[in-house]
Structure 1
Amino acid sequence: MSIDALFAPLSNATGVRIPEIKMVSTFLISYPLASLHTRIPKTRPNLAHLYNIAVSVFFIWPFLGMGAGMAHLMLDIGVTYGLVVGSRDRRMPWAVFGFVMGHLFLMHAHRYVFGLDENTSDITFAMMMMAQKLTMFAWNVQDGRTKAEDLDASQMATRLLHVPSPLAYLGYCFFFPSALAGPTFDYATYDSLILHKLYDQSPPPSSSSSKKSDTPAPRRIPYGRKRVAYLYLVLGVGFMGIFAAFGGQASFHRILTPAWDNWGWATRFAFIQFAGLVARTKYYGVWSFTEGACILTGVGFNGYDPKTGRTMWNRVRNVNIISLETAESFKVVFDNWNCRTNVWLRDCVYKRLVQKGKKPGSMQSMATFLTSALWHGVEPGYYLAFLTAGLIVSLGRQMRNYVRPYFLPPSSAPTSAPNSFPQYPYPNTRKRIYDILGWLVVQANLNYIVSAFFLLNLRDCIKAYHRMGWYSHILIAGSLVFFHFGGRRALRAGLPAQAGTGGKGKVKSGGKDKERLDVSTPRVTVEPPSPVDMPPQPREEVDSRDLKWVRHALENQQTGHEAEGMGGGAGFVDQVMKGTETPMVETPRYGRSGSPGF
């Protein structure tokens, strides 16, 4: 009996295609396999590499039935390794980038022209992840051949002084929890995981340990791993359940149906917001599954929270759901969506196009957006969405520079200035109103823009935008025209008096102003240890009713970057939902990108 026959009854009962059921099954199977992965001793690294390779090959070939796709993956892997080993030219990473991305583009084009059989799994998703890994690997090797003074901190942390063995390289490429849908990360992180160097950081001292001899020896893997991993498993099941229940009713394709003409404007607007939210739950579910499996292997470990002492498991976080859904600027949206792809675009495209001693400009930004669009596919919907997103990011930057300062209190105002929200700290009421309006504008325009990601066909995208009244495009065009024809100059003229900058006409976000707008980190009780994940502790520190670890597992470290656009910085929603900042990844993240299909 074939593997497909095993899933046929479930497919008939749910209406979900067999390839999609099998794909989700690989995510679920990865959890027990990840638990076995942690039991491979660090003295047997080759065994760990073989384990990763065997599981991924099983998933791709016999289970998902993508034998031909496996050949395409091996072609990219082999050519990349050959170029890395055989070429010492400084342009070697660009040769790898050109080959891998060109191959991926041809596969996207083939799928677009010829389509896929309904019972066939799509190898391009795995190729998209592999393209990120291989280009990162090439740049990591090239950084190892570059003078240290020419590298930044993140490049120094991920550079490779020696090319790994073919087996170790294959183990990295086929790290099974992230082989099909991400998240991706650099080879140095993978090597640290296999050799258990990822856990070398010592936990903060316990207040209950008065003597050094009373301090328990550190575990091989820090506590909290299992609870956080299975929390993401539960989240994944929940989000996929929401999508299964409402995905058909909230499809953007309903905009194209005759029923749309019978709806009122309020109903249409509400549907657009609901459709965008439901569409995102599919990706929240997939990324929760894969991130949880990665955490279960230990690769998600990101040190200890210096304030609470809790372990952090956000090293390979791909989406920050709360921050994204409460974002008051588009930069916050893009920073918190598909985070690992953002890191790849930043480290392998954006920063690599900047000449030494010069600042990045519009050319680097457009090249990054174009790379992200090509990475997604050849469907016109991707390019329409990215073009609109690029325009709205430019608009958001101007809103932040020329409009937002009018809603900030002058620099001479005391930080304890009263406002109509006494239960919340500074800033004042009008800044809070600006933040709320920023959130509404961001969400309304985001859900409008992403419709193109799901409709994809050019005619359908244009028809949908037309039926939605072109409201985001009208807002963008009108605002850009206003700023270009005198609006920027008029707003700039009023900035000195408003911001108290002494006539310089420019508002700075640092210094005292920055301190006034910072959001304090919330107090979170230290996570209670469990018998499975941590050595025994004094009884008074263990409380089985303490569920604050759930909140901590969903929170992130603060990066210190400020958002561009409406509501940037420490806004009203940020203060209500404080503690949900973007996770720190070596250096502040640039730009944004979607995921496969978004």
Structure 2
Amino acid sequence: MFWDPLFDRISELSGAGADQCKLIAALIISFPLASIYVRIPANRPNVAHWFSIITSTIFLWPLLGLGQGLLELLFMSVVTYLIVASVRGPNMPWIAFFFVMTCMTITHVRRAFGHISVERIEISGSQMVLVMKLSTFAWNVNDGRRKIETLDESQKATRLAKLPNPLAFLGYCFFFPSVLVGPSFEYVSYEKLLNKTIYDVTPPPGTPAATDKSKRRTPKGRRRVAVLHFTLGVVFLAYYAVMGDRGSYQRVIGPDWPTWSLLTRFGFVQFCAFCVRTKYYAVWSLSEGACILTGIGFNGYGPRTGRTRWNRVRNIDIAGIEGAESFKQLFDSWNCRTNVWLRDCVYKRLVKPGKKPGAAQSMATFVTSAFWHGIAPGYYLAFVTAGMVQYVGKQFRHLVRPYFLAPTDPAAALKLPKWHSQPLAKRMYDIVGWFLVQINLNYLVAPFLLLELKPSIMAWHRMYWYTHVQIAPFLTVMRFGTRRWLRSGLKPREKKVPEMPIPELKLSPPTPDEFRRPEGDEDGPDNDVEWVKYDLNTHALEDGEAIDMDGGLMDEVLTNLETRPSTPHANKDE
């Protein structure tokens, strides 16, 4: 195309591939297009559908040169629609699920055997997003055909009682801000965006939003939050453009590695992992910002401040990742919409009514997550290790952390150890937890990026297997009764408070309603700085809303290796 020389020149100046430059250009162009899209009247839905379809077609075909990939996406969408429309039985969603997963796996196999570089932009990324949309759509239609009393609250909120027309369905599949890198979302959100009912949320009484009588097309704050995400995307993009080549895991397996000092090697692994994350921070921030600008990010009002919240389709919580003090917080903050998809379309759907999920459900979710990412051995090495470190983190949270909680903590009305300074002890525990989370994250992602088995093993070997070395002693001491000893230390204190029920899995709507707010920020000034602070401090998921997708199976395996207490509560690890 006529713009190819321009992108070739940009590629030479930036050091990035021409197709990567085109991808970034598409994400940036989505912002002004989103400003046009949001102005399409609610009584012209077909215009909105065609707007997305035509824009996505231009992005994928003339711009990125993925004409064949576009046809593959269209084929997946049309066949899924026909399956949903023609199959009436309870197996319909599973037929659609296996169909789209098969199509995507074929692409992964083609990429693997074609030795296509991970840096090259091709259709698999868009396919991964579409797989989530199509399988979610099939389940939403199936829920609309079931008796409403058999559904949980999230299923009631997203069920489709009527099959949308083909044009509306394609408009949803090819929603232009998310067609390239996500995020995914439910058809109900797309439909509410078109008819503008997505904004029909009553602000909390007594807040400025409740007394605002101005006539607005969209609630206040949309542009501010979109600009914030655009800025974050550009900043992280610039950082990755400058530092990306320097922070590559390929250097870990390179010839210079043995000449570096031990401290330099350790520091480089931490630097390298952050460089890699900035690439994801950049593209996901840009795509989410464009989605927010269309209005689909609106998620109601803060219960205390009345400020609008624009995190309905949040896919990543950067502050939650970089500041994670536990592996639960870390995994809940990364690729949030994929976690929601796995929870709602696999994990929950395999549990029989009245039963609790077990090893079979965890294994199915694990396998789905692995195949969704690809077929490379590095993915499976990373997932298994992630499950192990998540399991270790969970045990620390339940068996060690209570000893450090301050007496005022509502979760621990216990007689705790006589620390010289209880708050300082808890803070030191959090700092150590943050350090361990970060260094182990930066270790386990190496095979996720190197992909092949031999380079992945070589990289871990050159890092002295330091995460596995931490896991092995923990499992050993747990095997010989440490769990029992830790639990026995908590039992006398538990008798001083009313017995609390064992927490159940909390199933929330795919677009959570309640998000945390920092204390003391209820009445701050209504300006751009406050809005930025508010958006950066909201979390993607509340405690308990996510499931241990990749860790559940490892929990089953590793827990069975440990010595069980002989008390009636032996199996109540949570």
Task: Say whether 1:245 aligns with 2:242.
Answer: yes
Q: Report the equivalent of 2:519.
A: 521
Cα distance between partner residues in 2 of 1:352 and 1:208: 41
Q: Are 2:518 and 1:486 aligned?
A: no
SS of corresponding position for 2:9: helix
Where do residues 60-459 of structure 1 align in structure 2 (5 Å cutoff)?
60-116=60-116, 121-204=121-204, 216-408=213-405, 428-459=423-454
The aligned counterpart of 1:495 is 490
CA contact (8 A) 2:93 2:139 kept: yes
The answer as to whether partners of 1:308 and 1:524 remain within 8 angstroms in 2 is yes
Gaps in structure 1 of 5+ consecutive residues: 422-426, 511-517, 529-543, 563-587
Classify 1:409/1:489 alpha carbon distance in 2 versus 1 (closer, same or farther; 3 Å). Answer: same
Q: Secondary structure at the match of 2:298?
A: coil
Structure 1 residue 372, shift from structure 2 partner: 1.1
CA contact (8 A) 1:105 1:375 kept: yes
Find the residue that maps to 1:317 and give its secondary structure: coil
CA distance in 2, matches of 1:122, 1:419: 56
Kindly indicate whether the alpha-carbon contact (under 8 Å) linking 1:493 and 1:505 is maintained by their aligned counterparts in 2. no
- CA shift in 2, pair 1:552/1:506, >3 Å: closer
1:116 deviates by: 3.6
Matches of 1:65 and 1:478, distance apart in 2: 51
CA contact (8 A) 1:328 1:436 kept: yes
1:508-547 Cα deviation digits (max 9, x unpaired):
789xxxxxxx99633144563xxxxxxxxxxxxxxx6x62
| Identity, % of aligned positions | 48
CA contact (8 A) 2:336 2:540 kept: no
**1:42 maps to what in 2?**
42
Matched residue of 1:547: which SS? helix
Q: After superposition, what is the alpha-carbon deviation per residue over 1:362-401, rounded to whole angstroms, capped at 9, x for unaligned?
A: 2222221221111111111111000111111222222222
Assess if the C-alpha contact under 8 Å between 2:207 and 2:305 holds in 1. no
Instruction: Give the corresponding residue for 2:547.
Output: 590
How far residue 269 of structure 1 moved from its aligned partner, in angstroms, is: 1.2
**Per the alignment, in what secondary structure is the counterpart of residue 481 of structure 2?**
helix
Shift of 1:336: 0.4
Distance 2:119 2:397 in 1: 49
Output the CA distance in 2 between the equivalents of 1:374 and 1:118: 16
Aligned match of 1:556 = 538
Q: Match for 1:364: what amino acid?
A: Q
Maintained 8 Å contact 2:20/2:120: no
| Displacement after TM superposition at 1:258 (Å) | 2.2
- What is the Cα deviation at residue 493 of structure 1? 2.4
- Indicate conservation of the 8 Å contact 2:320/2:539, yes or no: no
Q: Would the aligned equivalents of 2:316 and 2:540 in 1 still touch at CA under 8 Å?
A: no
User: Residues 88 and 373 (structure 1 numbering): CA distance in 2 closer, same or farther, change over 3 Å?
Assistant: same
Q: What amino acid sits opposite 2:520 in the alignment?
A: P
Question: 3-state SS of the aligned residue for 2:203?
Answer: coil
Distance apart, 1:16 and its partner CA: 1.2
1:208 and 1:328, CA in 2 relative to 1: closer, same or farther beyond 3 A? closer
1:230 Cα shift? 1.2
CA contact under 8 A between 1:376 and 1:382: conserved in structure 2? yes
Q: CA deviation at 1:432?
A: 2.1
CA contact (8 A) 2:204 2:304 kept: no
Q: Deviation per CA, 1:97-149: give whole Å up to 9, x if none.
A: 11100110111010110134899740001100000000000000001111112
Q: Which amino acid aligns with 2:315?
A: N
Report Cα offsets for 1:459-505 as digits up to 9, x if no partner: 000000000000101111221222123222222222223x3436999
Within 2, Cα distance between the matches of 1:470 and 1:253? 17
| C-alpha distance after superposition, 1:316-356 (max 9, x if no partner) | 11111111111111111110001111110110011111111
Which residue identity is paired with 1:32?
P
- TM-score, normalising length: structure 1: 0.84
Partner SS for 1:522: coil
Q: Which residue of structure 2 aligns with residue 7 of structure 1?
A: 7
202 and 6 in structure 1: CA distance in 2 versus 1, 3 angstrom threshold: same
Measured in 1, the distance between the counterparts of 2:532 and 2:47 equals 34
* Residue of structure 2 in register with 1:472 after alignment: 467
Q: Which moved more, 1:163-172 or 1:394-403?
A: 394-403
What's the CA shift for 1:3?
3.2
Cα separation, 2, equivalents of 1:228 and 1:294:
11
Question: Which consecutive residues of structure 2, in runs of 5 or more, have no partner in the other structure?
Answer: 505-515, 552-574
Conservation of the 8 A alpha-carbon contact between 1:66 and 1:121: no
Secondary structure of residue in 2 paired with 1:256: coil
1:555 deviates by 2.3
The 1:120/1:385 distance shift into structure 2, 3 A limit, reads: closer
| Whole-angstrom distance in 1 between the partners of 2:70 and 2:45 | 24
Counterparts of 1:412 and 1:301 in 2: how far apart (Å)?
38
Letter in 1 for 2:49: H
Aligned-partner Cα distance in 2 for 1:504–1:51: 58
When the two chains are superposed, the root-mean-square deviation of aligned CA atoms in Å is 2.8
Letter in 2 for 1:154: S
Q: Secondary structure at the match of 1:428?
A: helix
Q: Please give the per-residue CA displacement for 1:390-417, whole angstroms capped at 9, x wherever unaligned.
A: 11122222222222233335756699x9
Instruction: Judge which range, 472-481 or 29-38, deviates more.
Output: 472-481
Please state whether the residue corresponding to 1:368 is helix, strand or coil: helix
Q: Distance in 1 between matches of 2:378 and 2:362?
A: 20
Cross-structure match for 2:565? none
Q: CA deviation at 1:176?
A: 0.2
For 2:439 and 2:217, the matched residues in 1 are separated by 47
Partners of 2:503 and 2:360 lie apart in 1 by 26
- The Cα of 1:206 is off from its aligned counterpart by 6.0
**Distance of 2:159 and 2:320 partners within structure 1:** 31
SS at match of 1:550: helix
For 2:270, give the aligned amino acid: Q
CA contact (8 A) 2:365 2:550 kept: no
Q: Secondary structure at the match of 1:90?
A: coil
Q: What's the offset of the Cα at 1:157?
A: 0.2
> Could you say if the C-alpha distance between residues 412 and 84 of structure 1 is closer, same or farther in structure 2, counting changes exceeding 3 Å?
closer
What is the aligned partner in structure 2 of residue 18 from structure 1?
18
TM-score (ref. length: structure 2)? 0.88
> Structure 1 residues 83, 509: closer, same or farther in 2, change over 3 A?
closer
Shift of the 521–418 alpha-carbon distance from structure 1 to 2, 3 Å rule, reads: farther
Residues 433/115 of structure 1: CA separation in 2 closer, same or farther (3 Å cut): same
Change (3 A) 1:523 1:274: same
**1:263-310: CA deviation from partner (whole Å, max 9, x where unpaired):** 222211111111111110100000110000000000001111121121
User: What letter matches 1:95 in structure 2?
Assistant: I
Taking the aligned partners of 1:558 and 1:35, their CA distance within structure 2 comes to 25
Does structure 1 retain, via aligned residues, the 8 Å contact 2:247–2:275? yes
Is the CA contact (8 Å cut-off) linking 1:338 and 1:592 kept in structure 2?
Answer: no
Taking the aligned partners of 1:556 and 1:24, their CA distance within structure 2 comes to: 26
